[in-house]
Amino acid sequence: MKYLPTLAAGLLAGAIAVQLTGAASGHGDGWIKLIDGNYKAADWTEVGKANWEFKDGSLMADKLDGKDPSYLVSKDSYKDFVIQAEFWADDAANSGIFIRCDGREKIGAKECYEVNIFDKRPDPTYGTGAIVDVAKVDPMPKAGGKWNTYEITAKGSQLTVVLNGQKTVDVQDSKHAAGPFALQYGSGVIKFRKVYIKAL
């Protein structure tokens, strides 16, 4: 009987080790890390100008240089994929993740699918959690003032968006089949960290 506490402790330590190993390898198999403790400007092309800066482990912007929004566009194109991204937005942020863009020179809701981050959008049905002009959210979730997690999946015509564990979009649409994706800065403060993509 005197060995039971030692055995239990050993089993518990083993279980914890397995869990930690699983967590550490969570973005290993097939995942491409685009932002994760570092940021390589060479992995992106900027369209429009903002004061993008990598600071304290996240890529952030809080000021435009001009009137037009700024986009960081991925060098590679993707067809079927999952994106996982953590972002922090203030209440005034107008941002988003644009996927399957038709090209790299012009980015917008007509040229891409725009997964929105915009708590104060005048029409909240296409605000945070929505795909603009494709899939509405009701009620619109709020992202301002905290770290949030997006999981965006595009597989064929099936598009799904999960915000902080809650599915906000599950829709069929085939306007855009493949292309680069982009991170947007429009207004307020936006920060991105732990941005990963995996081809399906």
Residue-wise pLDDT tens digits, 174-198: 999 999 999 999 999 999 999 999 9
Q: Is residue 15 in some structural domain? A: no
Domain membership of residue 61 as a residue range: 30-199
Distances (CA, A) of 191 to 23, 46, 51, 173, 185: 23, 16, 12, 29, 9
Q: Is residue 96 in some structural domain? A: yes
Q: Which helix (H) or strand (E) holds 23?
A: helix 4-24
Q: Look at the chain and report how many structural domains it folds into.
A: 1
What is the mean pLDDT of the segment spanning 10-14? 43
**What tokens does 92 get?**
């005034």
The position carrying tokens 């990598």 is: 54
CATH number at residue 40: 2.60.120.560
* Residue 87 β-bridge partners: 148, 192
pLDDT at position 39: 87
Residue-wise pLDDT tens digits, 132-183: 999 999 999 999 999 999 999 999 999 999 999 999 999 999 999 999 999 9
C-beta separation of 34 from 197 below 8 A: yes
How confident is the prediction for the chain on average, in pLDDT?
Answer: 89
* Residue 97 β-bridge partners: 115, 183
The count of other CB atoms within 10 Å of the CB of residue 192 is 26
Q: Is residue 2 in some structural domain? A: no
Q: Is residue 14 in some structural domain? A: no
pLDDT at position 184: 98
